[in-house]
Structure 1
Amino acid sequence: MTQQEVAILARIMDNLLRIVGLSLLSGLLAALLAVGYRWYARMQVPTGLSMLVGLTGVALVLNLDTTLASLLEPTGGADDVFATPTIVVNTLTLAVSGVTATAGGRVGDRIAGTTGALSGGGGANVDVSAVVKAVGRVITVELPEDIEDMDGHDPVAANVKERIAGLTLVFPRRLTVEELRNRLVARLREEYGVGVVDVDIEADGTVTYLAVGSREIGLGTTLPPETCAVAIRADPAFSASAGDVVHIYDTTGEESKRVAVGEVRGTADEVVTVAVDADDATRLNSTQRYRLATLPVEPRVDREFASLLRAADETVTTITLAADSPLAGQTVGALNATVIAVHGQAGTEPLVPNTRTLTAGETLYVIAKPDAVRRLEAAATGADTD
């Protein structure tokens, strides 16, 4: 083997080692990013972002090498960048680094997810995490293949249901059923974007029922009963925003006449969406221009309650007791739910005491988690709740 052949072989080996080293650097940077992203955002890092970070590190090394070469060899270092062998090596380096960055992002996310599960997740109880680390015992929860859609909620995307169907999750073993349920619901929401979860879990971690749904969105879900939203042409104040209570005046006559009282829900130039009583809505003309008078801000307990309820795990529903319902004859305090009102023959009774006895035919307004609501609805109709 001649000296020239040895030099060529050494150059090839040097380039191969360079490609391997920079590719490993790209994968390591992407893996570190995936771990930090999973810890902070509680979700998988986007593939494009992990590839961008990995390739950025490789590009910095290549640029630094070129800069140093041009400084050390002013007559030839900079020209070597445009040489065909250099272009080929740099292109191969970036291509392989892109692949390793993608793989590194996935590996890092898998490591972060497994580590977070074994430690009980970001919100783990300190004592429970310590026990799991010391004993090393965990429980695996396998989700069913058949996932139901929750009644009263928009269905989740089909690809989301496919991702969680048959999924196996790891949790600390020494958790109560309620704690395990809360952990499971939190992970489905944070990692898969599920809005509402209804799940039944046995003491051994077996999931016997799972239904998911999206949070109800839109204007209609925020309107009180017997009200509607109407878009009118008006002159809202410059700083008017959703939640402002306004008087709506008709200025077409000689004197201004108040038409209705409403609440601003949105503005767009001269078009204002207001929530008014259903009876007042018929007196508003979409082609007529009105004048709005904003009233002073007052505490709105109903709006605060609605905001808290939309962010909570619980939901509000109405349940009517059938004649053969086992709930008839029981007290309000015996129900696994918060009863905010009861509607019967005597009218509606708000904030009923726990000692009040329920009778068949009454309608209950309850606040409870989805699984408790499902059991109450089954019991109210006299169906088998097992």
Structure 2
Amino acid sequence: MVQTVTLFDRLVLALAKLVGLAVLAGVLSGIVALLYRWYTRDRIQRGLPVLVGLGGVAVSLNTMTALGQVIAPTTGGTNPLSPETALFNIAAVVVASLVAAGAVDVGDRFGNDLFAATGSTSVEGEVSRVVEAVGRVIAVDLPEEIDDIVGYDPVAAETKEQLAGRTFLFPKRLTVADLEDRLRTRIKGDFGVGHVDVDLADDGTVEYLAIGARVAGIGPTLPPETAAVAVQADPAFAASSGDVVQVWRPAPFERVTTAEVRGIAGDTVTLAVDAADTPKLDAETEYRLITLPVESRTDREFASLLRAAEETMSVVEVETGSPLVGQPIGSLDVAVIAIRPADGGIEALPNRNHVLAVEDAVYAVAKPERLRKLEAAAKGADPAATRVEAADTSDDD
């Protein structure tokens, strides 16, 4: 007995296939969006997930077409060249495209929540709060007041407002040091902050937070009592930044001052001169520059290296009652480049066995958080909390 397939049965079967293909495209597209969010922490463009979803639909349609070519002659299956099959394929591609495009948002949102539970991200939304409540993550709340790091350019007020009171999630079973490092990395990467000084308690509470930034430019590299001036000049052909030059006025021909070239753009030269000599220069005169013999500029090299590094330099004076009194320099976890005893001149690169005394001035290079602790210890403020631990040479490397 041959069973007759009615038009209604064919429509139901086609609709079921259409729904299955749409679900397949949505699942593939959502998985791609989820994996991209989890791996890069960014939102993916719609094109790639939709293309992957349509690729799965194309494979399924090709498979059904290939089977139809075998089955149709023997069982009366669907003819792959019929108008009905072509119409079904077009409808499947259109519906799958729409579903795949919508699945990108779903996959990205789910990936964002998944990353909040297993990685580190700011807390926004109900799902993240529920995860925190069941104890699967550590929540770190930033204070409302954020300080500036001494010796660094201040961060914009808008950035501080965005950070104030913000909450971040991190996975559990992290040490305090690891949690501090991850928090620094998040603040630097997400908010464009150059330097972060943070202290956390054992329970993850922020006890101290300060941020700083070093903007590009000449200002931070100028020595004290020095100014940068742009003038019209005719520099020597081989002159470049860092060369010391004499500045001469053409009429009458006389020497105005000695300066350092900081930049050349056509006939405009930026000079670093003594602040007292800046009134001698004007924008209307075209000066002549005579390059002086090259000299070793150790101070310039040190300033350039220090500017590019995360460390900075500070001078700390040991006060009465400080726990540093009687400690050798080698016990500090900072790089000591000079000592100025109360009864003598500056001693560069002192011996590690040199014992600190009251009123000794310590010239130290380290990261801001270590310098802050050194300054607190030098003043004798809460020695138990601000003690300077023994040097970790592997960390300094």
TM-score (ref. length: structure 2): 0.66
Matched, 1:10 2:13: yes
Tell me, yes or no, if the aligned pair for 1:197 and 1:210 is still in contact at 8 Å: no
Gaps in structure 2 of 5+ consecutive residues: 66-78, 121-135, 386-397
Q: What is residue 29 of structure 1 aligned with on the other side?
A: 32
Task: Provide the residue aligned with 1:276 in structure 2.
Answer: 273
Find the residue that maps to 1:167 and give its secondary structure: strand
C-alpha contact (below 8 Å) 2:26/2:103 kept by paired residues: yes
Matching of residue 98 in structure 1 with residue 101 in structure 2 = yes
Q: Using the aligned pairs only, state the percent identity.
A: 28
1:53 matched residue in structure 2: 48
TM alignment of 1:170-185, pairs within 5 A: 170=171, 178=177, 181-182=180-181, 184-185=183-184
Any conservation in 2 of the 1:150–1:198 contact (CA below 8 Å)? no
User: Which amino acid is the alignment partner of residue 161 of structure 1?
Assistant: L
Deviations 1:127-168 (A, max 9, x none): xxxxxxxxxxxx9654234263233342361465258x3323
Where does residue 155 of structure 1 map in the other structure? Answer: 155
- Which residues of 2 match residues 158-169 of structure 1 at below 5 A? 158=160, 160-161=162-163, 165-169=166-170
2:231 corresponds to which residue?
A: 232
Is the contact made by 1:332 and 1:339 (CA closer than 8 Å) also made in structure 2?
A: no
Q: Which runs of 5 or more residues in structure 1 are unaligned?
A: 38-43, 118-138
Structure 1 residue 262, shift from structure 2 partner: 0.5
- Out of 334, 339, 348, the residue aligned to residue 350 of structure 1 is 348
Match of 2:74? none
Match for 1:368: what amino acid? A
Matched letter for residue 363 of structure 2? Y
**Aligned partner letter, 2:28:** L
Q: In 2, Cα distance between the equivalents of 1:380 and 1:183?
A: 29
Quick one: which of 283, 286, 296 aligns to 2:283? 286
| Structure 2 counterpart of 1:3, one-letter code | T
Q: Residue 326 of structure 1 is aligned with which of 319, 322, 328?
A: 322
Secondary structure at 1:231's aligned position in 2? strand
Distance 1:268-1:95 versus aligned 2 partners, 3 A rule: farther
Please tell me whether residue 315 in structure 1 is matched to residue 316 in structure 2.
no
Q: In the alignment, residue 155 of structure 1 is paired with which amino acid?
A: V
Tell me how far 1:261 sits from its aligned partner: 2.6
Cα RMSD, aligned residues only: 4.6
State the match for 1:130 in structure 2: none
Normalization by structure 1: what TM-score?
0.67
SS of the equivalent of 2:34 reads: helix
2:247 matched residue in structure 1: 249
Query: 1:367 Cα shift?
Result: 1.8
CA distance in 2, matches of 1:263, 1:291: 13
Q: Distance in 2 between matches of 1:238 and 1:105?
A: 57
Please say if residues 199 and 371 of structure 1, whose CA atoms lie closer than 8 Å, have aligned partners that are also in contact.
yes
My pick for the range that moved more, 18-27 or 206-215, is 206-215
Deviates more, 1:285-294 or 1:54-63: 54-63
Cα distance in 2 between the residues matched to 1:240 and 1:76: 78
Distance 1:146-1:76 versus aligned 2 partners, 3 A rule: same
Aligned length: 344
Rg (Cα) greater in structure: 2
Give, in whole Å, the separation in 2 of the partners of 1:10 and 1:256: 98
Task: Please list the CA deviations of residues 197-247 of structure 1 after superposition, one character each: whole Å capped at 9, or x if unmatched.
Answer: 223345x56445241413221432222333222222234578976x44242
